Amino acid sequence: MKFGISDADAAMMNIPPGLDPDLLRSFVLVAEGGSVTRAALRVGRTQSAVSMQMRRLEEALGQPLLLRGPRGLSPTPHGLWLLDRARRLLAMHDEIVNNFRMPEITGRIRLGSPDDYALLWLPEILAGFAEAHPAAEVEVVCLPSTELLRCFDKGDLDLTLFSGGNEEPGLPAESLWRGPLRWVGPAARPTHLLRPLPLVLCHTGCTWRIAATRALERAGVPWRMAYSSASQTGTHAVVLAGLGVTVGLSMALPPGLRLLGPEEGMPDLPELEIALVRHPGAAAEALADHIRRGFLSRPGVNARAA
Q: 255-283: per-residue pLDDT in tens? A: 999 999 999 999 999 888 899 999 999 89
pLDDT at 8: 47
Q: What is the pLDDT of residue 306?
A: 30
Question: Do residues 138 and 89 make contact, with C-beta atoms less than 8 angstroms apart?
Answer: no
Average pLDDT rounded to a whole number, residues 178-187: 91
Pick from 5, 1, 280: nearest CA to 152: 280
What is the pLDDT at residue 198? 97
Task: Out of 124-128, 152-156, 219-223, pick the least confident.
Answer: 124-128
Q: Phi first, then psi: give them for residue 226, nearest 5 degrees.
A: -80, -45
Query: Residue 91 CA to chain centroid, in angstroms?
Result: 15
What pLDDT does residue 298 have?
61
pLDDT of residue 294: 87
* Confidence at residue 6, expressed as pLDDT on a 0 to 100 scale: 46
User: Which of 89-98, 238-247, 267-276 ranks highest by mean pLDDT?
Assistant: 238-247
The string over 134-153, giving b where at least 16 C-beta atoms fall within 10 Å of a residue's C-beta and e elsewhere, is: eebebeebbbbbbbbbebbe
Residue-level pLDDT at 17: 57
Q: Which domains, from first to last, does the chain contain?
A: 7-98 (1.10.10.10), 106-164+281-297 (3.40.190.10), 182-269 (3.40.190.10)
Where does the pLDDT of residue 222 fall: very low under 50, low under 70, confident under 90, or very high at 90 and above? Answer: very high
pLDDT of residue 232: 81
Look over the chain and give the mean of its residue pLDDT values, rounded to a whole number.
85
Is the predicted pLDDT of residue 204 greater than 50, yes or no?
Answer: yes
pTM: 0.65
Cβ contact 153:268 at 8 Å: no
When comparing pLDDT for 188 and 231, which is higher?
188
What number is the average pLDDT over the span 172-177?
86
The predicted structure's pLDDT at residue 14 = 42
> ω into residue 103 within 30 of 0, thus cis?
no
Q: Taking 60 as the threshold, does the pLDDT of residue 197 lie above it?
A: yes
- In the prediction, which pLDDT does 10 show? 39
Which of 100-104, 120-124, 208-212 is predicted least confidently? 100-104
Averaged pLDDT for residues 117-138: 89
Q: Find out whether 229 and 202 touch, Cβ atoms under 8 Å.
A: yes
Split at pLDDT 50, 70, 90, the class of 304 is very low
Partners of 66 in the β-ladder: 75
Measure the CA–CA gap between 79 and 92, rounded to whole angstroms: 20
CA 68 to CA 71: how far, in whole Å?
A: 8
Please indicate whether residue 2 or residue 92 has the higher confidence score (pLDDT).
Answer: 92
Query: How would residue 102 be classed by pLDDT, with cut points 50, 70 and 90?
Result: low
- How far is it, in rounded angstroms, from Cα 137 to Cα 87? 27
